[in-house]
A = this chain, B = another copy of it.
Amino acid sequence: MDTIKVGIVGYGVIGKRVADAVAAQTDMEVAGIADIIADARMEIAKKRGFPIYCSIPDFREKMEQAGFDIQGYLEDLVQESDVIVDCTPAGIPQRNFPLYEKYHKKIIVQGGEKHHIVQASFSTFANYVDCLGLDKIRVVSCNTTGIARVLAPLMAENQVKDVFVALARRAADPVRTNRGPINGVVPVLGISHHGPDVVTVYPELAEKIYSLAVAASFTLSHVHMIKITVEKPMSRDELIELWKKYPRIIVRRGKEGLHDTAQLVEYYRDLGRPRYDRPEVFIWEETIDSDSRGNIYLIYDVHMESIPIPENIDAIRAIFGTADIHKTIEITDRALHIDDSKYDYSVPFPGEKKRQS
């Protein structure tokens, strides 16, 4: 197969990052992006050189008047693509399915969509092999991706008996200035969807994971406080060493000038990361703790805007079957410059073996 042609529908917080990430790979290319916006956000697509399509005919004139060269409508983009990554707001992808299916295109949707509308939910570390060759999958959301990553090293070599995760969620992405609260905390009134969502990629955690969540007045990232109980107790040092060698996981000490999420953002701004993105889960090393009963505790940061981006790239390779799990992780990460000499790309992943049947 030649390079995979990826059509990206919805050029928002996730879509624009998927587009850049696809463009950074050598085995895939951006067939085009489709949206209806005609403002400064779309300038970015134009500067990147992505072919621009109009998702809804009524908006074409406005887009053209704003100076965008429209290549065609959504249906045209679908025909030009081998796979569609639909990043439109929740609920819309499902309405687009008939169009994608008309042309027998593979489909990837994001974590805001319902699990039951696809063949499988996907998270690289958790269930890559299970998704090989499928036609319609869903990359789980930012928080679920974070949990799936943190659990992966433990699930690969131990038995996770119980997980309780408490999420302090950013109430709005930075750009969503119409959303609050400005001061206050909004609890999710019941079990949050995160626990059950993890089960879609780790079915063996059914009945073993519970999640509670609150949203509050910050925009930079989600922060998880988690308690994991494993079969075989592990020492704090073993845990640190374990997580450190896994890709897409950073373990650093807050004392290194990374005390909080704002200092994290500052570091990645300084580092020159595009959009200060940190697609890695960031674990504060000082918070890792464990006891002789198999309980493990830690706090980590989940950058909601970028964390599922590497998984979207892997998802494309999974459904076309063009790489095994270790290879896709390494290729993706090197292309996104989130690899590091500390990582061991040969570590075991739960997702390297069949787990759902």
* A interface, CB within 8 angstroms of B: 16, 37, 39-41, 44, 47, 164, 166, 168, 171-172, 174-191, 207, 210, 212-214, 216-221, 223, 225, 227, 252-263, 265-267, 269-272, 274-276, 284, 286-287, 289, 291, 295, 297, 299, 301
With CB as the reference atom, state the residue of chain B lying closest to A213.
Answer: B225
Given A218-B216, A225-B214, decide whether A177 and B186 contact each other with a Cβ distance below 8 A: yes
Contact B297 A260 (CB under 8 A): no
Contact B168 A216 (CB under 8 A): yes
State which of B40, B213, B254 has its C-beta within 8 Å of the C-beta of A258.
B40
Instruction: State the CA gap A275–B183 with chains docked (Å).
Output: 17
Contact B190 A287 (CB under 8 A): yes
Contact A174 B266 (CB under 8 A): yes
State which of B166, B178, B225, B258 has its C-beta within 8 Å of the C-beta of A181.
B178
Contact B218 A287 (CB under 8 A): no
Question: Which B residues lie within 8 Å of A214 (CB)?
Answer: 168, 223, 225, 299
**What's the minimum C-beta distance from A98 to chain B, rounded to whole angstroms?**
30
Question: Which B residues lie within 8 Å of A289 (CB)?
Answer: 190-191, 210
Contact A220 B178 (CB under 8 A): no
Which label, helix, strand, loop or mixed, suits the secondary structure of the A interface? mixed
Question: Which B residues lie within 8 Å of A187 (CB)?
Answer: 223, 254, 259-260, 284, 287, 299
With CB as the reference atom, state the residue of chain B lying closest to A207.
Answer: B291
Question: Which B residues lie within 8 Å of A275 (CB)?
Answer: 269-270, 276
**What's the minimum C-beta distance from A274 to chain B, rounded to whole angstroms?**
6
Instruction: State the CA gap A289–B189 with chains docked (Å).
Output: 11
Instruction: State the CA gap A256–B182 with chains docked (Å).
Output: 21
Contact B181 A183 (CB under 8 A): no
Contact A262 B39 (CB under 8 A): no
Question: Which B residues lie within 8 Å of A164 (CB)?
Answer: 164, 227, 297
23 inter-chain pairs at a CB distance below 8 angstroms, sorted by A residue, are: A40-B256, A44-B267, A168-B168, A174-B183, A177-B260, A181-B182, A181-B218, A181-B260, A182-B218, A183-B183, A183-B218, A184-B261, A185-B220, A186-B259, A186-B260, A187-B223, A187-B259, A189-B259, A210-B227, A214-B223, A217-B217, A269-B274, A272-B274
Contact B225 A212 (CB under 8 A): yes
**What's the minimum C-beta distance from A268 to chain B, rounded to whole angstroms?**
9
The 10 A-B residue pairs with the shortest CB-CB distance, nearest first, are A39-B257, A166-B166, A184-B262, A177-B181, A189-B286, A166-B225, A212-B225, A186-B260, A183-B183, A269-B275
Contact A276 B286 (CB under 8 A): no
Contact A212 B287 (CB under 8 A): yes
Instruction: State the CA gap A110–B315 with chains docked (Å).
Output: 50
With CB as the reference atom, state the residue of chain B lying closest to A189.
Answer: B286
Contact B40 A257 (CB under 8 A): yes
**What's the minimum C-beta distance from A40 to chain B, rounded to whole angstroms?**
4
Instruction: State the CA gap A78–B202 with chains docked (Å).
Output: 59
State which of B183, B189, B252 has its C-beta within 8 Å of the C-beta of A219.
B183
**What's the minimum C-beta distance from A186 to chain B, rounded to whole angstroms?**
4
Contact B266 A185 (CB under 8 A): no
Contact B263 A175 (CB under 8 A): yes
Of the listed residues A168, A171, A213, the one surrounded by the most CB atoms of chain B closer than 10 A to its CB is A168
